[in-house]
Amino acid sequence: MEALILYFVLFFPAMPIWSSADSLAETVRIIPFSITRELARTVTHTLPAIALLLYLIYSKIPSKEGFSPRRAAVPGRRDIPAFAIGLPILIIIGLFVAFLTGLAAGISPPVRIAGPYSFLGWAVVILACLGTGYLEEIYFRYYLLTKTENLIPNTTSRVMLSVLLFAACHIHDGLWGVLNAAIAGLFLAVLFLRYRSLHGIALAHAGYNVFVYAMGVG
């Protein structure tokens, strides 16, 4: 129950609701970049949410054979392969889904995120992407796959729950965003279970988000 309450409290209020001015140029929706909006979201929502999740993990998830929450939160060598594998695969998944959008007829194209054009803008993007990467990996992989272990002993079922919730909170990105999140979420869950790495997958996730902003420049 705690995991589901956290899900709705932490993720659904953060879903952006774009005005008609943010919508479309012909058939492609473009979300303009805003330093103020990204910085405010990071400071008022993302960072407090990360602090809350880490508190719950440290205080309520006991150490088990092969996994210690405190140990997993300390950067280590296990994070290197998780990052090295995670970032390029996430980019490949994103490009594959983007390729599929060109083949599908009658389905709205994905939302395009505009990138910044200034040094300050990119600094805010990196901070925001790091915050989002850590928040989503802490909850959907680090917290959820461990917290529900006693309630749902079957690993496949826990992974599917994680993937479903992760995909659902990307519904504002449209069908293609949900598909991309589902595939990426499955991959990240397997990567976490393989390496028990928080920092590796969070940095890979953040790097992919920066890549998405970079693709939106121009």
For 112-169, the pLDDT digits (tens) are 778 888 999 999 999 999 999 999 999 999 999 888 888 888 999 999 999 999 999 9
Domains held by the chain: number: 1
pLDDT at site 150: 80
- Distance (Å, rounded) from C-alpha 80 to C-alpha 191? 12
Q: Which of 70, 53, 62, 78 is nearest to 194 (CA)?
A: 78
User: Are 197 and 74 in contact, with CB atoms under 8 Å apart?
Assistant: no
The answer to the question of residue 16 being in a domain is no
The answer to the question of residue 84 being in a domain is yes
Structure tokens at 140: 């959907």
The answer to the question of residue 130 being in a domain is yes
- Distance (Å, rounded) from C-alpha 101 to C-alpha 79? 33
The answer to the question of residue 4 being in a domain is no
The full DSSP string for 52-95 is HHHHHHHHHS--BTTB-HHHHTS--TTHHHHHHHHHHHHHHHHH
pLDDT at site 25: 38
pLDDT at site 61: 64
The answer to the question of residue 7 being in a domain is no
The answer to the question of residue 42 being in a domain is yes
* CA 17 remoteness from chain centre: 18
Structure tokens at 12: 């659904």
The answer to the question of residue 65 being in a domain is no
Structure tokens at 163: 């993937």
HSE on the CB side for 121, CA within 13 Å?
11
User: Are 213 and 129 in contact, with CB atoms under 8 Å apart?
Assistant: yes
Kindly state the DSSP code that residue 21 receives in the 8-state scheme: G
Domain span at residue 125 reads 31-46+80-215
Low-confidence residues of the chain, pLDDT below 70? 13-29, 60-73, 105-110, 217-218
The amino acid occupying position 89 is: I
The answer to the question of residue 40 being in a domain is yes
- Distance (Å, rounded) from C-alpha 94 to C-alpha 155? 26
